[in-house]
Amino acid sequence: MFIYYDSKTGNVQRFIDKLKKERPKWSFIKINETMEVENSGHLITFTTKFGEIPETTVEFLKKENNRNFIKSVSSSGNMNWGTLFGVAADKISREYNISILMKFELSGTQPQVEYFINYVENDN
């Protein structure tokens, strides 16, 4: 299983670290602006700058080959942002027709880690 992720201040990285503990055999790949992926997988990013998709994630998804490999999107966010909570996931879903797996606050809770794993393993 391939998990692609973007993280600036470390919260998504910490969510990834929790996933890694539960599923050590999965591949966790931090995206950058130039990479081109070759395996289908799930994308985890965050919401920034008043409901925006992070720049690295935008550049990654601009490549048609990359976005065609993405089966779902999740976003970290902070509920303090109210209606803008995790909206990067909504925007990516709308713009690129990718389904939303989940939104979580900061580095997520253990039940959210388990929810994520359960979705991924039952998605086919």
Nearest residue (CB) to ligand FMN, 55 versus 121? 55
**52: nearest Cα among 92, 8, 93, 16:** 92
Contact 43, 73 (CB under 8 A): yes
Rounded-to-integer distance, Cα 19 and Cα 3, Å: 10
* Residue 102 binding ligand FMN, by CB under 6 A: no
Nearest residue (CB) to ligand FMN, 53 versus 98? 53
Rounded-to-integer distance, Cα 40 and Cα 44, Å: 13
Contact 4, 36 (CB under 8 A): no
* Residue 11 binding ligand FMN, by CB under 6 A: yes
- DSSP track, 78-111: -GGGGGGTTHHHHHHHHHHT-EEEEEEETT--HH
* Binding segment (CB under 6 A) for ligand FMN, from list 10-18, 22-30, 35-43, 110-118: 10-18
The distance of closest approach from Cβ of residue 124 to ligand FMN in the complex, given in angstroms and rounded to an integer, is 28
The distance of closest approach from Cβ of residue 122 to ligand FMN in the complex, given in angstroms and rounded to an integer, is 26
* Residue 93 binding ligand FMN, by CB under 6 A: no
* Residue 86 binding ligand FMN, by CB under 6 A: yes
> Which residues are at the interface with ligand FMN (CB under 6 A)?
7-13, 46-51, 76-78, 81, 84-86, 106
